A = this chain, B = another copy of it.
Amino acid sequence: MSTRVVNLESCFDRIHEVFSPHIVGELNGQHVKLARLEGDKVPWHTHEDEDELFLVLEGELEVQQRDSVVTLHEGELTVVPRGCEHRVIPNGHVKLLLFEPADIAHTGAVESEITREHYERLEP
């Protein structure tokens, strides 16, 4: 059996679009995804049954909820609990790691120009 090593930076070299989360790992029904973000395009949305983790690998990301806002810098993470309406706004270009359930809908029940029906999988 070969064990897969995922080099985050090499993965980003293969991700060219923004707002297109790519699956790089799977465990316990959860996906590890990487995404590049740039621009204020994420609509307010809610995941009713899924908590969502954002870990900034490069850049600066504002995470807005209806009653709070935090800014994540490189090496910082936050968890948006299920049921909490939120959106994220990158300040410039951001490299982001997401951790969330495998069956999560990209922008909840909200359709927008960035909404994805499925996620690309980055194979080794």
Contact = CB atoms under 8 A, between A and B. Distances in A.
B99 A5 contact: no
A6 B52 contact: no
Interface string A78-90: 1111000000000
Tell me whether chain A's interface is mostly helix, strand or loop, or mixed: strand
Given A28-B50, A51-B28, A75 B9 contact: yes
Interface residues of A, number: 39
Interface of A: 1-9, 24-30, 32, 50-53, 63, 65, 67-70, 72-73, 75-81, 99-101
Given A5-B72, A32-B99, 11 more contacts: A1-B68, A4-B79, A5-B77, A5-B78, A6-B77, A7-B76, A8-B76, A27-B52, A27-B99, A28-B101, A32-B77
A110 to B, nearest CB: 20
A73 to B, nearest CB: 8
Contacts of A73: 7
